[in-house]
Amino acid sequence: MQTLVPLYKDIQTRFRAAGVENPGLEARILVKAALGVSDADLITGSAQTYPQADLDRLEAMVARRLAGEPPSRILGSREFWGRDFVLSPDTLDPRADTETLIEAALECFKGQEPPKRILDIGTGTGCIIITLLAEWPGAAGIATDLAIGAVDTARLNAANNGVADRIQVVHTRWADGIDDRFDLIVSNPPYIPSKDIESLDENVRRFDPILALDGGNDGLDAYRMILEQGKSRLKPGGVMLWEIGINQLKDITRLVENIGATRGRVWADLGGIPRVVEISYGDK
């Protein structure tokens, strides 16, 4: 049986030959997950051998990565804002860009009373609202999703992250049937124009659900619906925060202003791209 370091280096070599972007990092992630080893083991070069079942599991993971599947999908989870979130075929794989929405929410309520009631429209894994509930122990909220698999996944993630008693995850379209009013409404809706879906990165196109990607002809269908529904569901003085796509800020601003709402602050992601916008109705 191969010992750890030769095995690890062999996987790196295979990943490099296949054009994997970060062969060393991804080899390390899979080896650690399959064999239960630490970074220290990989550095010190443990001479331990491993059961064939563990090696077979590792090889299956490697084969999936070589076939184009992202590591997070192989492992079935993704870290977001320092917490682990289970993925399912019905959920978008959370991106680091979406952490900008968390930063925006915390900034919006900095120095004032945190929101008591939060609505997350199109929750997916639940990573946004669950993170906010964890950051604000006095808050509670509702999360919605049209995909029943996403609803189940968000409920599991809420339990895993200790906020299940403060969140209701509802199977519905957008905010249909939600009659409460909220201090904060958040959403990372589908915003890719339909015509652009086929040109997305293969990892996204093949493994993220189309329901979480396709925003209609101009990519703005979800925003129109959320903007319409938000007016009756946002408390006076409340705020909505949306994640938006590349080059959408101008169109989003026009959409918001056309119905008499206000587009407030904008937050850029780590790449400098406008990623989150603040929306309100009337005076904040």
Please count the residues of the chain.
284
pLDDT digits (tens, 9 = 90+) for 82-119: 999 999 999 999 999 999 999 999 999 999 999 999 99
In the annotated binding site for S-adenosyl-L-methionine, the residues are 122-126, 145, 174, 188
Nearest to 154 by CA among 141, 144, 166: 144
In the annotated binding site for substrate, the residues are 188-191
Per-residue pLDDT averaged across 113-133, rounded?
98
> What CATH code is assigned to 78-281?
3.40.50.150
Burial of 122 (0-12, 13-18, 19+ CB in 10 A): buried
Residue 150 confidence class, pLDDT cut points 50, 70, 90? very high
What is the Cα–Cα distance from 36 to 30, expressed in whole angstroms?
10
18 residue type, one letter: A
Task: Tell me the Ramachandran region of residue 81: left when phi exceeds 0, alpha when psi lies from -120 to 50, beta otherwise.
Answer: left
Tell whether the model's pLDDT for residue 2 goes beyond 90. Answer: no
Global pTM? 0.94
In the annotated binding site, the residues are 122-126, 145, 174, 188-191
What is the Cα–Cα distance from 183 to 107, expressed in whole angstroms?
14
Cβ contacts of 199 within 8 Å, gap of 6 or more: none
Looking up tokens 């049986």 gives 1
What is the Cα–Cα distance from 42 to 88, expressed in whole angstroms?
30
Tell me the CB-side half-sphere exposure of residue 259, using CA atoms within 13 A: 18
pLDDT of residue 284: 52
Nearest to 73 by CA among 181, 242, 205, 174: 205
pLDDT of residue 283: 58
Per-residue pLDDT averaged across 139-162, rounded?
99
User: How much of the chain exceeds pLDDT 90, in percent?
Assistant: 92
Residue 45 confidence class, pLDDT cut points 50, 70, 90? confident
